[in-house]
Amino acid sequence: MTRQAYVNGRFLPIGRAEVAIEDRGYQFADGVYEVIKAVDGVPRDLERHLARLERSLAALRIPPPMSARALALVIGEALARNPIRKAIVYLQVTRGVAPRNHLFPHDARPSLVITVRRAPFPSDRERAEGVAVISLPDQRWGRCDIKSISLLANLLAKQQAAEAGCREAWLVDGEGRVTEGSASNAYIVDSEGRLVTHPSGPRILGGITRSVVLELAREAGIEVVERPFTLEEAKAAREAFLTSTTSLILPVTRIDERAVANGVPGSTTRHLARLYAERSGIPEAAAGL
C-alpha cells in the first residue's frame, strides 16, 4: 500500500508530496501540529485535538486553514485512503509560503499537511517492565503550551536520552522541578497514593492523554494534585509514569539509573492503564500490565 499524504487540498503518494522551500514551516518552524490516534479509521478525542489546534493557531495568529468540521472530513478522508487499523494522524499547519522575512506576510495562505502511519505503540515488554528516563535541564521557551513544530530543544533531549539508553528525558526547570518529558507528560504517585503532575500552563504542553487520564483518575476516586514535583520527589515516589498519544500510559521504573520504588510498574499506573485501554478501545494500553 502506498501511503497517501494530503498537501494543501490534494492527496498524493507520500513520495511525491512536497511543500515549497519558502514555506515558513521549513524556514522558521513557523507552525503548529497535532498527533491524533485512530482505531479502524475513527480518530480518538478528535474534538479535544482540534480545540488544541485552534488554541495553538490563535496563539501564533495563524488563521485556521479551514473550519474544524472541514478538517474532520479531511482527516476522515486521509484515514480512508490509508487503511491502517491502529494509526497516527500527523497534521501540520504553517503560516504559509512567502519570501523569507521575519515579519508575518500579509497575503500568505496557511499550509496544511496531513499524513497517516502505523501507530508506534510501546512494546509489551516496555509496558510490563516500565521504562527508564534521564533528567535533563528544560531548555525550552516560555510557551510550551503551544504545540509548535519548533522542537529543537525537545529532540536534543530525546536524542540524549536515547544515547543514555533511556526511553524519555524528564525536563527539569531552574527550581529542580520536573515540567514534563521531551514528548510526553510526567506523573508520580506519592506515598499517600495521590497522583501528582505539573499544572497546565505555559510550562508544559497540555496533553490530550493527560486530560483523559486525569478525568479517569478522578472518576476512579484517585486524588489528583496538579502541582510541580521535584526530581528528588520523583526519585522517592511510590510510582511514576508518562503519557502521550503514542506512548499511551507507560510506567517509568528508573530515573537517572535509580529504580523507582521496587522497580516494577505500580498498581495505580496499572489501574489507570486498564481504564485508559477500556475507554480508548486500545487493548495495547494495558497489555503486559
Contacts of 249 (CB under 8 A, 6+ apart): 209, 213, 241, 242, 243, 269, 272, 273, 276, 285
Type of residue numbered 253: T
Q: Which is nearer to ligand PLP, 46 or 97 (CB)?
A: 46
235 is catalytic: no
Q: Quick check: 209 binds ligand PLP (CB under 6 A)?
A: yes
Q: Give the separation between CA 55 and CA 50, rounded to whole angstroms.
A: 9
Q: Quick check: 197 binds ligand PLP (CB under 6 A)?
A: no
With b for 16 or more beta-carbon neighbours within 10 A and e for fewer, the 147-179 pattern comes to bbbbbebbeebbeebeeeebbbbbbbbeeebbb
Provide the grid cell at 139: 531548555
**Binding flags for ligand PLP, 226-265, as an x/- string (CB under 6 A):** -----------------xxx--------------------
* Shortest separation between residue 151's beta carbon and ligand PLP, angstroms: 7
Q: Which of 23, 30, 180, 239 binds ligand PLP (CB under 6 A)?
A: 180
Q: Which stretch binds ligand PLP (CB under 6 A): 107-115, 117-125, 157-165, 177-185?
A: 177-185
Q: How many of the other CB atoms lie within 10 Å of CB of 11? A: 16
Q: Which is nearer to ligand PLP, 94 or 185 (CB)?
A: 185
* Shortest separation between residue 183's beta carbon and ligand PLP, angstroms: 4
Q: Could you say which of 37, 147, 158, 235 is catalytic? A: 147
* Shortest separation between residue 11's beta carbon and ligand PLP, angstroms: 25
Provide the grid cell at 117: 502511519
Nearest to 246, CA basis, from 90, 111, 112, 135: 90
Q: Active-site residue numbers? A: 147
Footprint of ligand PLP on this chain (CB under 6 A)? 35, 154, 180, 183-185, 205, 207-210, 243-245
